[in-house]
Copies of this chain bind each other. A is one copy, B any other.
Amino acid sequence: MSQGRPRSIEEFRVGERATARRAFGEEDVGRFAELSGDFNELHIDEVAAGRSRFGGRIVHGMLTASLVSRLLGMELPGRGTIYLQQSLRFVAPVRIGDELEAAVEVTAIDVAKRRMTLSTTVRRVDGENVLTGEALVMVEGER
């Protein structure tokens, strides 16, 4: 899969933005449970999750956060990204099948250190934010 050439830190601009859409289905949640070992009943057990405050199964927070990883690794900055830090606030539950839109936006650039800060948000397409936070990345640029 081509991701284009790596960009050098000088080529990015504050305000630059990338987005991606995705819904996680039952199978995705099952696969993430297997991969992580997180079989918490809120994700896996429809009956127990139905009795919870959420009224049904919810998607793992870290699976929702993987959309941010995808945008950083594939689009902005894309090739040459080195992931340094991420903060995550899980501000609303994500239900199985919820249509999500993730967005990353450059908020600060440190050319000397080749580092960028990006705001990282996932919202339901119908409006509400489900995840907010910030990423710090380094950009390798051309080799």
Interface residues of A in 18-50 (CB under 8 A from B): 20, 22, 28, 31-32, 35-44
Contact A36 B70 (CB under 8 A): yes
Contact A35 B32 (CB under 8 A): yes
Q: Copies per complex? A: 2
Please, how many residues of chain A have a CB less than 8 angstroms from a CB on the other chain? 46
Name 27 interchain pairs, CB-CB below 8 A, sorted by A: A3-B41, A28-B35, A35-B63, A35-B66, A36-B63, A36-B67, A36-B69, A37-B70, A38-B74, A40-B73, A40-B81, A41-B79, A52-B143, A53-B140, A60-B69, A60-B73, A61-B69, A62-B62, A62-B65, A62-B66, A62-B86, A84-B90, A85-B87, A85-B88, A85-B89, A86-B90, A87-B87
Closest 10 CB pairs of A and B: A40-B73, A36-B66, A37-B70, A38-B70, A38-B73, A62-B69, A86-B88, A61-B83, A38-B69, A87-B87
